[in-house]
Chains A and B, each alone.
Chain A
Amino acid sequence: AQSVTQPDIHITVSEGASLELRCNYSYGATPYLFWYVQSPGQGLQLLLKYFSGDTLVQGIKGFEAEFKRSQSSFNLRKPSVHWSDAAEYFCAVGAGDNDMRFGAGTRLTVKP
């Protein structure tokens, strides 16, 4: 079965600094890959997804992610972080009809 690892439980960055959140997956075939964001008291919101094609995916709120098959990774990046980006970020891998497995999440803190 597919699985996802987010190695960083908590990351702190300064406002305006660049951000990279790591995600590694395990799956035998080409996976469907997702990044979600969860702000306090809110549900999960889809930032971006990869199904096939261009390995660099653009998402909402200025985020992007790159699928690297050789490294089994799908890292999320943003060139300049805003205070409003402070939230929990979840990577997910999908296979099959509705089988989506989430990572444990990375909590992002943004310092002023």
Chain B
Amino acid sequence: DAMVIQNPRYQVTQFGKPVTLSCSQTLNHNVMYWYQQKSSQAPKLLFHYYDKDFNNEADTPDNFQSRRPNTSFCFLDIRSPGLGDAAMYLCATSRGGGLLYEQYFGPGTRLTVT
């Protein structure tokens, strides 16, 4: 089945130690998104790629970076995780840009910062 895959499902990192979360998709979608969802809060868009074009949300901290080496893969890099970065990180894809296109979500990676 075509899907959005996130690895790992659970990640533990130390305060200040760089960490990378991975997302891959078999849907061949043009757009890939990263959301942050803190406990009991709404998912919040961090950034998205339309093909190779990177679009950062205005309030996304500089500590968060992303790479998309090809259509299938997208990575979220947290350069120096703080305790406040502990959250579920959701990857999503859509066929085209804009909200007319449905977003398909992966199961998420739960990040713990110790």
Residue B40 interfacial (CB < 8 Å): yes
Q: Is the CB of A43 within 8 A of B42?
A: no
The interface size of chain B toward A, counting residues with CB under 8 Å, comes to 24
Residues A54-107 near B (CB distance < 8 A): 90, 94, 96-105
Main secondary structure of the interface of A (DSSP, over half): strand
Residues A98 and B100 in contact in the complex (CB < 8 Å), given A43-B90, A44-B105, A45-B105: no
A-B contact pairs, 30 of them (CB 8 A): A9-B40, A32-B100, A36-B105, A43-B4, A43-B92, A43-B105, A43-B107, A44-B92, A44-B103, A45-B105, A46-B103, A90-B42, A96-B99, A97-B99, A98-B31, A98-B45, A98-B48, A98-B97, A98-B99, A99-B99, A100-B99, A101-B42, A102-B42, A102-B44, A103-B42, A104-B40, A104-B41, A104-B42, A105-B40, A105-B42
B interface residues, Cβ below 8 angstroms from A = 4, 31, 33, 40-45, 48, 55, 90, 92, 97-100, 102-108
